[in-house]
Amino acid sequence: MFAKLRAYGLFLTAFLFLTVIGRAQVTSMEGDVKDQSGPIKGAVVTIERTDMKGHYVVKTDKKGHYYYGGLPMGIYRVSVSIDGKEVDSVNGIKTSYGDTKEVPFDLRKTQQQQQALAKSMQTGQLTDEQKRSLSPEQKAQIEAQMKKQQASIAKNKALNDAYNAGREALEQKNYPTAIDSLQKAADMDANQPVIWSSLAEAYMGSGGTKTGADQQADYDKGFAAYQKAIDLKPDDAAYHNNYALALVKGKKLDEAQKELQQAATLDPAGASKYYYNLGAVLTNAGQVDAAADAFKKAIEANPNNADAQFQYAVSLSAKATTGPNGKIIPPPGLLEALHKYLELQPNGPNADAAKGLLSTMEGSVATSYENPNEPKRGKKK
């Protein structure tokens, strides 16, 4: 009987010893998860053992706290996910018996670090701490990014050099050199509307120095370049306006009218100048009534457009009639337009013509006009 009790005691001691050993193999982990708004409830914390197989998952409570007990001692990667997306992680967490391992996550700080790292990765200028935190994949990414940036810088320099050389040659009316340089720039980057617009200008200038088929060939290339600029930036009124003026040179008046109408629609603040240009195109085409309408729209958009006032009066003058007594009867709006022009530009380039037309229509004309926009002079004592 005594022997049996002794054997039972030894068994119990061994069981207790094994139990202690078993308990010695586990530990625990906890921490808080928060961002700039405070604790995050329901964040998923994944505890992944890296020295051998082991996978454990826990969620944060309403205070943003998580706890996981009964973890085998080992080395872990701990990550936190929100809405199914991993937002932060930490590697190399080594647990030890007797102490709960604290692994908190401050996502606000993490976001700031990630933003700083992303910015540094773009420039390639990382701190020693950032370099130590990089994974092999991130290091490879930085090297690739640096090579890409160096290639981009070299390309941009070549592009800028070609464009600037083209613009300089264009200003000097050296059209062959301008075309050559700007075409090189377009070949390097075909998505820059300003390059195509400048190239179009160069072709139109070159065409102006030629005749016949050679001229038309340059004009056609200019039209195509303007169209590419507009395709890349269709909401730029200036491109439509310049394209229209080029079309006028090529005697494509109907297309020019459409482009000027489009320019006025896109840029209401500058509509007066576009309608004025339209009026000039129509006048040159012999469409006097349509030209008068265009000049009138230019005036409606900006009553202080003196040139539009004068040209509107001239276009209306064709509609003047003669009364039974032989007196000239001006159409409505003509006299007002002439007076307005002389108020705005009493000494302007068309002042004498305006006075002459007034004299014809009225039989007399005022000899003095003042510009209401000029500053008033003080009276002499």
* Ranges of each domain in the chain: 2-101, 191-197+211-362
**Full 3-state SS string of 21-55:** HHHCCEEEEEEEEEECCEECCCCEEEEEECCCCCE
Q: Quick one: pLDDT at residue 89?
A: 87
Q: Quick one: pLDDT at residue 241?
A: 93
Q: Quick one: pLDDT at residue 286?
A: 87
> What are the tens digits of pLDDT across the range 239-279?
999 999 999 888 898 899 899 999 999 999 999 999 999 89
> What long-range pairs does 373-378 form, CB within 8 A, spacing at least 24?
373/304, 373/344
Least-confidence region, from 101-105, 283-287, 367-371: 367-371
Report the alpha-carbon distance of residue 94 to residue 90 in Å, rounded: 11
Four-way CATH pick for 191-197+211-362: 1.25.40.10, 3.40.50.12280, 3.30.700.30, 1.10.238.10:
1.25.40.10
Report the alpha-carbon distance of residue 204 to residue 247 in Å, rounded: 10
> What long-range pairs does 242-248 form, CB within 8 A, spacing at least 24?
242/197, 242/200, 242/201, 243/200, 244/277, 244/278, 244/281, 245/277, 246/200, 246/204, 246/219, 246/222, 247/223, 248/281, 248/284
CATH fold of 2-101, please?
Answer: Immunoglobulin-like (2.60.40)
Q: Quick one: pLDDT at residue 362?
A: 78
pLDDT > 50? residue 2: no
Q: Quick one: pLDDT at residue 155?
A: 75
Which range, 99-103, 226-230, 322-326, 367-371, has the best average confidence (pLDDT)? 226-230
Dihedral sign from CA coordinates of 182, 185, 190, 194? negative
Q: Quick one: pLDDT at residue 135?
A: 60
Q: What value does the mean pLDDT take over residues 52-67? A: 92
pLDDT band at 336 (very low <50, low <70, confident <90, very high): very high
Average pLDDT, the chain: 83
Q: What value does the mean pLDDT take over residues 24-43? A: 87
- Tell which wins on pLDDT, 332 or 123: 332
